[in-house]
C-alpha cells in the first residue's frame, strides 16, 4: 500500500518463489520488504511455507526406510540380469580372440591408407577402414565430430535413422572416456557411424559401427573364417604402430574400436562396449 519503495511490482509467481527460496537474494529482500506492508499476502506466503514443512514431515520418513531388496536389485541391474554373465562371456571371448589373432595384424604399415590396400579379408578391410577413419578424424581440432556429445539424443536419433537400425553411444566415463560426439561416414556397403570419445589427456578413441544388413553374403564369408566358433561375437585385434583396433561382428553389425592406447586398455573398453551394445536389450 505504501509507495515509498520504488521497485518492480511483485507478481504472484514471485510470492511463490519467495516461499520456495528461488529468488535472488536482492529480489528476496525487496519482496520481503513488500510483504512487510501487506499482512494478508505475507500470511499466504507463510502458509505455503508451512505446507511445505508439513509435506516434508509427512514424507521424509520414507527416506529413512530400508530399500526393499527387489528395488535394490532393480537399481543395480538391468531387468534381464545380463550384466555379470555378459562380462564373463566377454572376457572369455576376449581370451579366445586375442589368442586367435596373435599372428595377424597391420603391424608394419606406415600409413593408414596402406591399411586398406593390405587387407584381403572382409574383416580386415573393416578394421582398416575403422583405423583410417580414426586416423583422419582423431587429430581434428575444430571439427572432430558432426554432432557433439552434448546433443547425444539428437546424435543417436540421427545416426539411427541413417543407419537403418537403433544406434546407441556407449557411456565409457567409468573407463575415463567422455563422449565427444559422432559423425556419419561412407562405408563399404552403406553409411557407417563413428562415435568419438576422449580421455582427460585428450587422447581420442573411436567406435566405428557398420550395418551390413544388405551384405549377407559378405558376412557369411567372414563367418566361415572362424574355426567353428561364434565368430560373429569374437573379438579380433589389429595394430598399426601405436594405433590399435579391436573389432567384432554381431549379426549384421560390425564394431571396431580404435585408439592409440595399449591393448589392455583397449580390451577393457571393448568389453565394456560389447557389454553395453551387444548384451544390453535394445
Burial class (CB in 10 A: 0-12, 13-18, 19+), 48: middle
165 binds another protein (CB under 8 A): no
Report in angstroms how near the CB of residue 43 gets to another protein at its nearest: 6
9 binds another protein (CB under 8 A): no
Report in angstroms how near the CB of residue 176 gets to another protein at its nearest: 11
> Which of 187, 135, 128, 184 has the alpha carbon at shortest distance from 160?
184
Question: How far apart, in whole angstroms, are the C-alpha atoms of residue 134 and residue 117?
Answer: 16
168 binds another protein (CB under 8 A): yes
152 binds another protein (CB under 8 A): yes
Report in angstroms how near the CB of residue 18 gets to another protein at its nearest: 12
Question: How far apart, in whole angstroms, are the C-alpha atoms of residue 155 and residue 148?
Answer: 7
Per CB under 8 A, the list member of 79, 103, 120, 139 interacting with another protein is 79
How many other CB atoms are there within 10 angstroms of residue 91's CB atom? Answer: 12
Q: Which residue's CB is nearer to another protein, number 115 or number 156?
A: 156
Report in angstroms how near the CB of residue 17 gets to another protein at its nearest: 7
Q: How many residues bind another protein (CB under 8 A)?
A: 57
Q: Which stretch binds another protein (CB under 8 A): 9-17, 90-98, 125-133, 218-226?
A: 9-17
Question: How far apart, in whole angstroms, are the C-alpha atoms of residue 141 and residue 145?
Answer: 10
Question: How far apart, in whole angstroms, are the C-alpha atoms of residue 235 and residue 86?
Answer: 14
> Which of 270, 94, 109 has the alpha carbon at shortest distance from 197?
270
Site string for another protein, 36-75 (x = CB under 8 A): ----x-xx--xxx-xxx-xxx-xxx-xxxx-xx-xxx-xx
Q: Which stretch binds another protein (CB under 8 A): 89-97, 152-160, 205-213, 230-238?
A: 152-160
76 binds another protein (CB under 8 A): yes
Host H or E run for residue 257: strand 253-259
Burial class (CB in 10 A: 0-12, 13-18, 19+), 114: middle
Per CB under 8 A, the list member of 32, 173, 214, 220 interacting with another protein is 173
Q: Which residue's CB is nearer to another protein, number 119 or number 206?
A: 206
Phi/psi zone of residue 108: left (φ > 0), alpha (ψ -120 to 50 degrees), beta? Answer: left
Q: Which stretch binds another protein (CB under 8 A): 110-118, 170-178, 218-226, 258-266?
A: 170-178
User: Under 8 Å CB-to-CB from 116, ≥6 apart: which residues?
Assistant: 125, 128, 129, 132
Per CB under 8 A, the list member of 88, 91, 117, 150 interacting with another protein is 150
77 binds another protein (CB under 8 A): yes
Question: How far apart, in whole angstroms, are the C-alpha atoms of residue 214 and residue 136?
Answer: 26
Considering only CA atoms, give the Rg of the chain. Answer: 28
Report in angstroms how near the CB of residue 151 gets to another protein at its nearest: 8
User: Under 8 Å CB-to-CB from 282, ≥6 apart: which residues?
Assistant: 166
Positions touching another protein (CB under 8 A) are 12-13, 16-17, 20-22, 40, 42-43, 46-48, 50-52, 54-56, 58-60, 62-65, 67-68, 70-72, 74-79, 149-153, 156, 168-175, 178-179, 272, 276, 280-281
Amino acid at each position: 500500500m505504501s509507495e515509498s519503495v520504488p521497485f518492480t511490482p511483485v507478481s504472484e509467481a514471485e510470492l511463490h518463489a519467495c516461499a520456495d527460496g528461488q529468488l535472488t537474494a536482492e529480489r528476496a529482500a525487496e519482496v520481503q520488504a513488500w510483504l512487510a506492508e501487506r499482512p494478508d499476502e505475507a500470511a499466504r506466503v507463510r502458509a505455503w511455507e508451512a505446507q511445505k514443512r508439513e509435506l516434508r514431515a509427512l514424507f521424509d520418513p520414507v527416506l529413512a526406510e530400508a530399500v526393499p531388496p527387489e528395488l535394490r536389485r532393480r537399481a543395480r541391474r538391468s531387468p534381464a540380469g545380463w550384466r555379470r554373465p555378459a562380462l564373463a562371456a566377454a572376457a572369455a571371448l576376449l581370451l579366445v580372440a586375442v589368442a586367435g589373432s596373435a599372428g595377424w595384424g597391420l603391424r608394419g604399415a606406415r600409413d593408414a591408407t596402406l591399411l586398406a590396400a593390405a587387407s584381403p579379408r572382409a574383416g580386415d578391410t573393416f578394421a582398416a577402414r575403422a583405423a583410417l577413419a580414426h586416423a583422419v578424424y582423431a587429430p581434428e581440432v575444430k571439427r572432430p565430430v558432426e554432432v557433439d556429445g552434448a546433443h547425444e539424443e539428437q546424435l543417436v536419433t540421427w545416426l539411427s535413422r541413417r543407419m537403418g537400425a537403433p544406434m546407441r553411444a556407449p557411456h565409457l566415463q567409468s573407463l575415463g572416456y567422455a563422449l565427444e560426439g559422432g559423425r556419419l561416414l561412407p562405408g563399404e556397403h552403406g553409411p557407417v557411424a563413428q562415435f568419438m570419445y576422449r580421455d582427460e589427456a585428450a587422447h581420442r578413441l573411436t567406435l566405428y559401427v557398420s550395418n551390413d544388413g544388405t551384405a549377407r553374403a559378405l558376412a557369411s564369408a567372414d563367418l566361415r573364417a572362424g574355426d567353428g566358433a561364434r565368430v560373429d561375437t569374437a573379438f579380433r585385434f589389429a595394430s598399426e604402430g601405436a594405433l590399435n583396433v579391436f573389432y567384432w561382428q554381431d549379426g549384421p553389425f560390425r564394431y571396431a574400436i580404435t585408439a592409440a592406447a595399449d591393448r589392455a586398455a583397449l580390451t577393457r573398453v571393448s568389453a565394456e562396449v560389447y557389454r553395453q551394445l551387444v548384451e544390453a536389450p535394445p
